[in-house]
A and B are shown apart, each in its own frame.
Chain A
C-alpha cells in the first residue's frame, strides 16, 4: 500500500524536521522518491565513535510500516554489529518472524509503532554499546572483546574519515 506508506513517511519526515533528536539528520535523498532516505548519525559522546558523522541509507518497503526498512552504512564502519558491507544487524530492524541470531525476543522486534527516529536512536546506542554476542563482523567483535585499545584507534580513524579530515 504505497499511499499509506507515503503518508506515514511524510509525517515522520515532518516530525524529524520539526523536532530533531540530537545528532541525527534524516530525510529523503531526493524528493522524487520518498522511499529512499539518507540519515546522518553523530557518534555518541564518550564512545570510540565520538564526534564522527556517519552516513547511512534507509530503504523502505512499499508496505512500510508493516515491514521494517533496510539500513546500511555508506561510511566505512568497523563495529561488531555492522556487517563489513555496511548492513546493520539490530533487532529493531527484524520482523518478528525472522531471527537470524536466534536470541531475540519479539518484544524488541520491528512493529508498525516503531519509527525511523527510534531506529536511528537504537543505532546510536548500538554505536555506544556494541553487542559482541550478535556478531555481524567477527573481526570487530573479536577486537572489541580482546583489544579495546586497538578498537578505539580503529574507530578514531573512521571518525576522521567520516569527517573528511
Chain B
C-alpha cells in the first residue's frame, strides 16, 4: 500500500521527543483549565466565564473552591468539555501506552527481530483498516466523543492482539533452540498470563455490562455494540489461550527427556479446536456486522463479505485437513498393525523418522517400523514407505468403513496386508457401434506398475545380472551387500544411487540396504524364496556389512580434514568445536592446494 510507504518514509519522532511534547502539551492544557477555573471563581459576577463550571456542581460554586479535590474535579470536567483539551489528554494517554509498550518490549523481548517487526506492522495496519471500516461503516459513528470511545476501545484490543502475536512469534523463535534459558520462557509466559487476564477482565466487564443493559433499557444499538465488543474479547482470549497451551506443552516436553508419543496428537487437537473456535467466532462476528446495521449496498458490506469469504475458506481448509487426518489415522490403524514387543526388540533400532528409540511402533507391510505419530505425519502428505518408498495402497473412502466394524482389527489388517501393493488396472471399452455404425470399437487398458514391487522380486538369474552390473561400477562393494539392496530396490539405477549417496555402506542406518531381519509372516514366502537359507545369509550379510563399515570408518582418520569427533553438552563449546573444525578444513584445503600448485609449477 502506497500510504504505508509514505508513512514509513515520513520522519517519525522518537519516543522521548513524542512523550516530552505530549507531556508539555498536557501540562499546558491543565494549567489553562486551572487558571480558567480560578479566574471564574475570582470573578463570580462574570456570567460568561461562569458557564465553564460544571452544572452538577454545588449551587454555591461561586465560592472559590478551597479543597484541592474539588478543584481537580473541576479542572477535569472542564477539560472533558473542551475538545482541544480532550484531544490533548487522549494523546497523552497514548503516549503513556507507548511508554508501557516500550517497557514491556525492553523487559520481555529485548530487540525485536526483523520478521517480528514486519508482522507487527502488517497486523497493525490491517487492524487499523478493518476497524476504521467498522467504526465509520458499520457503527456509523457521528459524534467526536463516540469516536474517541471506540478508538480507545480498539486501542486496548490492538494492544492485546499485537502483544499476543509478538508472544507467539517469540515462542516459535525460542523453541528453535534447545539452549534458551528458562527465564526467557517464564518472561514470555508471564506476559501471556497478563494478556489473558486482561482479556478475561474485558470479557467479564462486557458480559456484566450487557446484563445491566438488559435489566435497564433494552436499546438495540447498545446491545449490538456490547456483542461486538464481546466477540472481539473472545477472539483474543481464544488466541492467547492457544499460545499459552502450546507453550505449556512445549515447556513440559523440553523438561522431560523421554519421548512423549502422544504429544503430536495432543498438539494437533489443541491446534484444531482453538483455530476452529476462533475462526467460527470471527465468522459469526462478521455475519453479525453484516446484518446488524443498515449497511447493505455500501463499501463496508463489500469489505465484510470479502472477509467472510476468506474466513469461510479458512474453515473449509481446516476441516478438509482434518478429514484427511482422520482418514490417515483410520487407514493406519486398520492396515498397519502395532508391532509386538518381540518384533521391536528384534529390530533393535530407532525410528528412522525421529531417530528416537522405539517403545511402540507400527509395522508397514514392507517390514519397516516407525512410531505411529511419525508415520502419521508422513502419511498425511504422502502414501509411500519412507524407507523403501514402496507405494502403500490407501483406500480413499470405502476401506476404513469396511475395516472398522471388523470385530478383530488385527485379523482384518492381516488379511489386507498382503494386498497392500495393489496394481489397480483400469479397463475402458468404447463401443462405437452403439452411437453410429461407422464409429470404431476399441478398448484401453491402463496397467499400473510401481517401480518397486515387493511381492514380485526379480528372479534369481535376473538378480545375478543386476548384481554384476552394479559390481562393474563399484568393485569394492561386496556382492552380497549389492544383492541385498537390489532385492529391495529392484533396479540397478536406484541401487547405484544408494551406493553413491552412501546409504549402503553407512553403518548408522543399516536397515535401508539390508532386507529386514524380521520378515513379516506374510512377506516371508516371497522374500525367502530368493535368499539362500536365511540363517547363513543373515550371518554372511552382517559379516560383509561389518567389513564394509569398518573399511568405511577406518578411512576418515587417515584423512587430514577430520577434526573433532566430540559433541559437547555446552552450547558455547559446541560452537567453538564447530568453528575449529571449519577453520581446520579450510586450512588443510589451502595447504593442499598450495602444495599441489608447487608440484605443478616446476613440472
Contact = CB atoms under 8 A, between A and B. Distances in A.
B405 interface: no
Interface stretch (A11-19, A80-88, A142-150): A11-19
A112 B582 contact: no
Contacts of A122: 500-501
Given A6-B175, A107-B452, 6 more contacts: A2-B176, A27-B578, A51-B596, A92-B501, A106-B389, A113-B512
A125 B556 CA distance: 17
B167 to A, nearest CB: 15
A20 B578 CA distance: 11
Contacts of A92: 501
25 contacts: A2-B172, A2-B176, A6-B178, A7-B355, A22-B555, A22-B559, A25-B578, A33-B173, A34-B176, A40-B582, A42-B585, A51-B589, A65-B353, A96-B382, A105-B451, A105-B494, A106-B384, A107-B491, A107-B497, A109-B389, A111-B378, A112-B352, A112-B353, A113-B352, A122-B501
Secondary structure type dominating chain A contacts: mixed
Contacts, number: 171
Contacts of B173: 33
A160 interface: yes
A119 to B, nearest CB: 9
A13 B509 CA distance: 16
B8 interface: no
B556 A51 contact: no
B556 to A, nearest CB: 5
A21 B384 CA distance: 29
B354 A7 contact: yes
For the complex of A and B, list the 6 residue pairs with the smallest distance between their C-beta atoms, beginning with the closest.
Answer: A113-B352, A27-B578, A112-B353, A31-B571, A111-B386, A11-B355
Interface residues of A, number: 60
B594 interface: yes
Contacts of B309: none
Most A CB within 10 A of own CB, among B389, B566, B594: B389
A26 to B, nearest CB: 9
Contacts of B502: 21, 117-118, 121
Given A53-B586, A96-B384, A107-B452, A22 B575 contact: no
Contact of A118 (B377, B452, B501): B501
B561 interface: yes
A22 B562 contact: yes
B594 A25 contact: no
A74 interface: no
Interface residues of B, number: 68
B585 A53 contact: yes
A41 to B, nearest CB: 9
Most A CB within 10 A of own CB, among B356, B567, B577, B592: B567
B166 to A, nearest CB: 17
Given A118-B502, A160-B593, A35 B176 contact: yes
Contacts of B577: 17
Interface of B: 172-173, 175-180, 250, 253-254, 263-264, 267, 352-356, 374, 377-378, 381-382, 384, 386-387, 389, 451-452, 489, 491, 494, 497, 500-503, 506, 508-509, 512, 553, 555-556, 559, 561-562, 564-567, 571-572, 574-575, 577-578, 581-582, 585-586, 589-590, 592-594, 596
A106 B390 CA distance: 9
A14 B350 CA distance: 15
Interface in A22-57: 22-23, 25, 27, 30-35, 40, 42, 51-53
A118 B503 contact: yes
Nearest to B263: A3
A109 B501 CA distance: 12
A21 B267 contact: no
A97 interface: yes
B582 A32 contact: no
B176 A6 contact: yes
Contacts of A106: 384, 389
Given A6-B175, A163-B586, A163-B593, A1 B264 contact: yes
Given A17-B566, A31-B179, A97-B381, A23 B585 contact: yes
B578 A17 contact: yes
Contacts of B378: 66, 111-112
Contacts of A35: 176
A19 B577 CA distance: 14
A3 B254 contact: yes
